[in-house]
Amino acid sequence: MQRTRQDELLASCLELLSWDELTYMPRAGAAQRGEQMALLSGIYHDRAVDARIGELLGELENSTLVGDPLAPAAVNVREIRRAHQRMSRVPRSLVEELARVTTLAQHEWEAARRESDFPRFRPWLQKVIVLKRREADALGYEADPYDALLEEHEPGARSTDLARLFDALRRELVPLVNRLTPPADMSVLRREYPLDRQESFGKAVAAALGFDFEAGRLDTTVHPFCSAIGPGDCRLATRYDVHDFSDAFFSILHEVGHGLYEQGLDPDHQGTPIGEVPSVALHESQARLWENTVGRSRPFWEHFYPRARAHFPGALGDVKLDDFHLAVNHVERSPIRATADEVTYNLHILVRFDLERALIAGNLEVAELPGAWNEAYRQYLGITPRSDAEGCLQDGHWGAGLIGYFPTYTLGNLFAAQLFSRAAVELADLDCSFARGRFDGLLGWLREKIYRQGHRYPAGRLIEQATGRPPDYRPFIEYLSNKYTALYSI
């Protein structure tokens, strides 16, 4: 495992460069950073596809070390073999070009988003799509090239299965959205919230939930994210708006969920597959669970609302808890995914899923994206974005080459609801614990059932191990229906 741990150190250097790029790097450094990322990505790729790795794996696969398929050694061999086979199909030249182009594309996306200028970003997105098609062809697929890219983020997932799942969700969600209109009054969240107090309050809540700031930090960026540099170094980033309490605060909770997962992995297996997260959807399940299931609950705010009023007396001094709680749980057809409510959020994901599949398949030209995006929003949410910044430029995922990532948000929502439902059965009254500011019970349960399990099981199997049943979208629908019919008194 020494070589695997060395590869992880190299990967952590790439992650650190990426974090710096998105936080403190001067804009003029993008080209140089692209070359750095390309070089290190190429070196990492060479090490990962070394023929000697395949020879060693063959020896191990025929040894007694893999007798128990759930033992750490067997899990490590299984996952190293999977990664070795996958990466061996992609030439180093393509790996380097993807690293170089996506680094530059992200910076062009930032500028285009700032200016709401899709034509500026269009040639870069076209380059990314062409490269991702080449990657899909190199990796291979049975029917849909999108599946080859989806596999990177959610091993075993297939686009046809997701399409059926998303159709079922849409049939449940659209009527519920229609019942929850008009939206609640959000004006209290649009008052003045000084940025330094937003940061201090967010950090205080993050620490209370269990995030260790001795092993992590919080910075500012254009689009919120979490970077797991390595053991003892987990970095969160968010954005602030003086007239929007929700954007930064719930983004912090979302990234804290990612951070708690990373900080909860078994340190004894650091640098090996069994010490890693098995899928992006599981990671997203923790972000969504702590952001929404916990962070928008009434007991959570029974504890934290007095502190919020102390931090923001000018904005919240005259606001009752009931009104504030309803505001942070408003349901509204909005064009922005990142700040969307729990009920409409997955409709945003369905739009992206459909469009990126079409882009990779060649059924949608990049130049046609703004129009297709706006039409999809009219169809799914009954609204039209007012600009490209509010439309197809709002997310940085495609500039970063993260095609196939968006579906994991919806899968994460489903996993989160199922996990929380089971935790509520097995633990003492979680509502009372939250109202007292105690979150260690839930965190301890998740560490035992999910975090410390690492990559022992595939994502779906891990959910089944933790909850007693296979992944199912119905707990999520039940959670939404129960919560929001009560909030909206319907």
Written as six digits, the tokens of 221 are: 């960026």
Of the candidates 373, 377, 338, 380, the residue with the CA atom closest to the CA atom of residue 355: 373
Do strands 233-238 and 216-220 pair parallel, antiparallel, or not at all (unpaired)? Answer: parallel
3-state percent breakdown (helix, strand, coil) of the chain, nearest 5: 70, 5, 30
- CA proximity to 319, closest of 339, 301, 295: 301
* Residue 347 contacts residue 380 (beta carbons within 8 Å): yes
Report the C-alpha dihedral over residues 431, 435, 437, 439, rounded to 10 degrees.
Answer: 10
**Residue 158: φ, ψ to 5°:** -130, 145
How far is the first Cα of the chain from the last one, in angstroms, to the nearest whole number? Answer: 57
Residue type, 470: P
Determine whether 255 is an active site residue.
Answer: yes
Please name the residues in contact with 89: beta carbons below 8 A apart, sequence gap of 6 or more.
138, 139, 140
Both tokens assigned to 428: 């003492």
Q: Which helix (H) or strand (E) holds 237?
A: strand 233-238
Active-site residue, from 79, 151, 255, 356 = 255
3-state DSSP assignment of residue 468:
coil
Residues labelled as active-site residues:
255
